[in-house]
Amino acid sequence: MRLVSGIKPTGDLTLGNYIGAIKQFVNLQNELKDAEFFIFVADLHAITTPQDKQQLKKRVRDIAAMYIACGLDPNRVNLFIQSEVLEHPLLGYIMESTAYIGEMERMTQYKEKKQKQLKDGVRTSLLTYPALMAADILLYDADIVPVGDDQVQHLELTRTLAERFNSLYGETFVVPKAYTPKVGARIKSLQEPTKKMSKSESESEKAYILLLDNINQIKNKIRSAVTDNEAKIYFDEKNKPGISNLLTIYASLTDSSIEDIVKKYENETSYQKFKEDLAEIVGSTIEKIQTRYYELIKSNELDEILNQGREKAQFIAKRKMTKVLNRIGLLRQK
């Protein structure tokens, strides 16, 4: 079995990215001992919107280091950078030649992001992005693709394109399945707990936790998270969104069930102890991640890991691409 996934290097990583995406990969890596993992930094996807050159360069490295600092084992996972495997955009083009414009135009993410670019011009790649994403997945014959809720529609399109190609040219691609996390698929803002935790969509710095925030600041953000006045700890997303969000974070970081945590605090008459404990849990989790991150970012180890990941990815991708081109009738020689 093979798993493939990627993260776009377009923002500083938050606790939401960790719980909703990176930690899922780590859990899957630990659970599925026989599976092969291909995880990449989706840098080509980043330039569907304008990016600062220096910042993009830094973020690509940052994300790669963070993946490992968060627990991805480079011996188990092939970690690489998308633009270093040129078969991605090549198969992306083949996928553009498999998809219809109407299918691309129907994508929710495209419709939303397009609005933000109307003034400066909407890049063509913003529209064709799902074709490249399909290529990222199909190139490796992925069976499972762990993604957040917002990517499920792109996964559906990937399945459609794989099936269409297979029926046009003969069985070529594995039709992949999306895998979304049960707990923590949407960590909420600490200040407005009905909204998603996101740096770009928050007005206050207290609303989100960055994986590279100062540890004391992180603890304070948990202590000052918006809750309610009932002073009773139980899970009710509708009426107690703040406490429910904190319970979700607690459960995810301690790998325990929300039920057990509720039980642990059932006799409390205020939120203070619960918040203080959670502040320590979040603080110490992120402190460990940061220690490893700073070691990696200064060392040659990261480049060695990325070179090794690139070699393996290139090997699989080249072999697959030969097969694909051959199916279409594009290779001079077999």
Distance, first Cα to last Cα, the chain: 28
Residue 182 gets which letter from DSSP?
Answer: S
Considering 195, 199, 206, 318, which one is annotated as catalytic? 199
DSSP assignment, residue 25? H
| Residue 73 and residue 33 in contact, taking contact as beta carbons nearer than 8 Å | no
Nearer to ligand AMP, 221 or 320 (CB): 221
- Among the listed residues 8, 23, 188, 196, the single catalytic one is 196
- 28 makes contact, choosing from ligand AMP, ligand TRP, none, with CB < 5 to 8 Å by partner type, with none
| Complex with ligand AMP: residue 63 or 99, whichever CB lies closer | 63
Residue 142 φ then ψ, to 5°: -65, 140
238 catalytic per annotation = no
186 binds, among ligand TRP, ligand AMP, none (CB under 5 to 8 A by kind): ligand AMP
Residue 11 in contact with ligand AMP, rule: CB under 6 A: yes
Can you give the binding site for ligand TRP, defined by CB under 6 A? Answer: 4-8, 42, 45, 133, 136-137, 145, 147, 151
| Burial class of residue 85, CB neighbours in 10 A (0-12, 13-18, 19+) | buried
Alpha helix segments (H runs only) across the chain: 15-17, 23-31, 43-46, 53-69, 87-96, 101-105, 108-117, 124-138, 152-169, 215-223, 241-254, 258-264, 272-298, 301-328
Site for ligand AMP contains 23 (CB under 6 A): no
Site for ligand AMP in 128-147 (CB under 6 A): 147
111 part of the active site: no
In whole angstroms, the minimum distance from the beta carbon of 129 to ligand TRP comes to 7
Other beta carbons within 10 angstroms of residue 329's beta carbon come to 7
The yes-or-no answer on residue 232 being catalytic is no
Q: Which residues are marked as active site?
A: 113, 196, 199
Residues that bind ligand AMP (CB under 6 A): 7-8, 11, 16-17, 19-21, 147-148, 150, 184-187, 196-198
